[in-house]
Amino acid sequence: MSLLRGHKLSVAQIALIVAPSFVLFGYNQAGVGGLLSLPDWTKTFPEIDTTHTTGAVKSHNATIQGVVVATFVLGALTGALCCMYTGDMFGRRKNIFMAAAFTLIGEILCSSSHALPQFIVGRTTIGLGTGVLSATVPVWQAECSSAANRGKHVVLDGLFITLGYTLESWINLGASQIKGPHEEASWRMPLAIPIASSIMLMSCIFLMPESPRWLIKVGRVEEARVNLSKLKDLPLNNSTVIAEVEGIQYSLEESTVKKANMAAMFTMGPEKLFYRFCLCIVLQFYQQMSGSNLISVYAPVIFQQNLKLNGQTSRILAGGTLTWKFLSSFVAFFTIDRFGRRALFMFSGVGMGSCMLALAVATSFPTDNKSASIASVFFIFMFNFFVPIGFLGANFLYCAEVAPVKLRVSMASISTANHWLWNFVVVMATPVAITDIGYRYFILFATIGYCIPLSVYFFYPETMGQSLEQIDAVFRDNKGPLAIVKMSKLLPKNDM
């Protein structure tokens, strides 16, 4: 890939690294839900069979099943936190390689399982690798992308996550039709398919350039200069390349943070570190607790239990909602570097909150009310239109943008771990909540959705069109949140 430069190099990064990373994210996160009722699955793993059991046995198996499904999320949370220590120690590329190796090992273990303990180890290992990818790849992208195109490049993460969800849904539906002597392929094949993406990641990552900002941070300035030259398709001695290297060095020198550790993020100081940390934490909280994962993972449950649709229809509708979500992801791709991060967050928040409120009203009617059922399906589709506009890629991008270079991986790691923590809460709480409180559960997500535009308007500065060093300066040179937000909207936008 050494001959690729500029736009061609960026396309190669997206196609060979970003796409497989986040397709793995979406595919593996949702990869078990559609398999739990398959006949050969329940025969292989009777400990988590809730299809052919009743009473206390079913209740016990459901609890074990919930824990098994959640091991992926717990592994991802651990993997994201590990990046605090490995991200700057080994660099972005080595972390991505190790993460891909973990997912490969886990996928092999899961698809070859003949006992539940092996499957649990496999799912936890996949989660570990996915957590590292989710914390590292957006940072690597942001640090390698120009200010003008950084939003488009990183928001693709959400598009590929949704593509992973969509592929998983339709592949599981198709594989479920396999019967006869090869019936075990109905669940082994879907679990084995992502092996190809893991191998692609491991094969291609070292053909890509390392982050120039990480290279400068560890003293490898000449390598950083060469990589910036390739990424921008400019000569080594070009003034733009020289100015960017000097800007990164100046930003590092101005930083008051001497060591990238967790304690530093809880201090304010001239760089407003705690404020920036809170922006990341709250944004990732919104991503999960506005209902995104609820609809993606539990749409079939909502269709079956709340709307009383049959299983086949529910699975087809769930696949349809995820396909629609994937198509809706292109809205953010074409708007994030035109209207900015703030506008998309606020628009997405209002839309998600309104759809959740409407869903609460529609599902409050008796299940034999056909009009209410149709309205519920409509608002689930509409919710999946609004989610990817602001909260399926842009949230990872924003956290990478507002963090200072010395703490970028640490902040991204903790905020991404927070994303996985609330993911775990939703995964564990939703089955019980849907059964016990029904439509009232959606009111919680509606309330959180309506909090998004208010908090973004007052506290979240605009980062569109600014270099990462300029964003750093906005926080450093202004006193409070309102001044920072105001200044961020006045700065001119970069074209490079």
Q: List the CATH number of the domain containing 388.
A: 1.20.1250.20
| pLDDT for the residue numbered 351 | 95
Neighbours of 365 (CB within 10 A): 15
- Do 381 and 450 share a domain, yes or no? yes
Q: What are 358-375's pLDDT values in tens digits? A: 988 988 887 677 788 788
pLDDT class of 45 with cuts at 50, 70, 90: confident
Same domain, 293 and 432: yes
Residues 96 and 136 in one domain: yes
Residue 446 lies in a domain: yes
Question: How confident is the model at residue 66, as a pLDDT?
Answer: 74
Contact 77, 284 (CB under 8 A): no
Nearest to 36 by CA among 7, 74, 69, 77: 69
Write down which residue in 199, 227, 254 finishes a domain: 254
**According to the model, what pLDDT value does residue 247 have?**
84
pLDDT confidence tier of residue 403, bands split at 50, 70 and 90 = confident
Using the structure block, give the residue that is written with the tokens 């999960």. Answer: 288
Q: What pLDDT is recorded for position 57? A: 82
Asked if residue 495 belongs to a domain, the reply is no
Locate all alpha helices (DSSP H) within 391-439, ordered by sequence: 394-402, 408-436
Name which residue leads in pLDDT, 24 or 52: 24
Query: Is the pLDDT reported for residue 423 higher than 60?
Result: yes
Residue whose token pair is 């040179």: 477
Helix axes 341-363, 394-402, angle to 10 degrees: 140
Question: Same domain, yes or no, for 481 and 405?
Answer: yes
Residue 496 located in a structural domain: no
Q: In which domain, by residue range, is 385 found?
A: 6-208+255-490
Instruction: Confirm if 209 and 227 have CB atoms less than 8 A apart.
Output: yes
Torsion of CA 261, 267, 268, 274, to 10 degrees: 70
Query: In this structure, are 364 and 306 located in the same domain?
Result: yes
Q: Which among 135, 156, 140 is positioned nearest to 415, based on CA atoms?
A: 135
Same domain, 58 and 138: yes
Domain-embedded: residue 1: no
The residue among 50 and 205 whose pLDDT is bigger is 205
pLDDT exceeds cutoff 70 at 258: no
pLDDT-based confidence at residue 170 (cuts at 50, 70, 90): confident
b vs e for 82-110, b when ≥16 Cβ sit within 10 Å of the residue's Cβ?
Answer: bbbebbbebbbbbbbbbbbbbbbbbbbbb
**Total of domains in the chain:** 2
Which amino acid, 449? G
Do 242 and 259 lie in one domain? The reply is: no
**Which of 355 and 33 is assigned the larger pLDDT?**
355
326 and 187 belong to one structural domain: yes
pTM across the whole model:
0.82
Let me know whether 92 and 104 are in one domain: yes
Closest CA to 390 of 443, 441, 448, 350: 350
Together in a domain, 240 and 266: no
Residue 413 shares a structural domain with residue 460 = yes
Establish if 214 belongs to a structural domain: no
How distant is the alpha carbon of residue 429 from its chain centre? 20
Do residues 324 and 466 both lie within one domain? yes
- The reply to whether 213 falls in a domain is no
Specify the range with the lowest mean pLDDT, choosing from 26-35, 127-136, 226-235: 26-35
Domain contains 127:
yes
